[in-house]
Amino acid sequence: MDKMVLRRMEYYGYHGVFEEERKLGQRFYVDLELQMDLREAGVSDDLSKTVNYAEIHERVKAIVENKSFKLIEALAEHIASDLLDTYTVIDALTVKLTKPHPPFDIHFEGVTVELFRTRK
């Protein structure tokens, strides 16, 4: 299966279990792997035969920056559902969502959830 990959899209959102996370906000990174047949788009050079990745970026931005979830699992699930509901050309996708600076008194690069969803 062909795929389109969007790497490390950066957004500022208000997600987290702690009230201060939802009040102050923080940076989030989103990686997407969209599985779909890209042959027709490649042969025809026609944008209508694929997905517009600038449009995908704006949809994900609207979700991350305008909604609020306690769990990054819920945020990732919402992104996956929205994209599958909106773009019928996508057969399956992987959403990788990273919270690079969780508010813990420990040192690590961040926490990431990754989920794979297919069209039902």
pLDDT tens readout for residues 11-66: 999 999 989 889 999 999 999 999 999 999 999 999 999 999 999 999 999 999 99
Cβ distance 112 to 96 under 8 Å?
A: yes
Q: How far is CA 90 from the centre of its chain?
A: 14
Angle made by CA atoms 47, 62, 60, in degrees to the nearest 5: 55
Active site annotation includes 99: yes
What is the count of structural domains for the chain?
1
User: Which tens digit of pLDDT belongs to each residue from 65-96?
Assistant: 999 999 999 999 999 999 999 999 999 999 99
CATH of the domain at 10: 3.30.1130.10
The amino acid sitting at 70 is K
Catalytic residue among 3, 67, 99, 120: 99
User: Domain of 114?
Assistant: 3-118
CA distances from 18 to 11, 44, 45, 63, 70 (A): 19, 49, 47, 19, 8
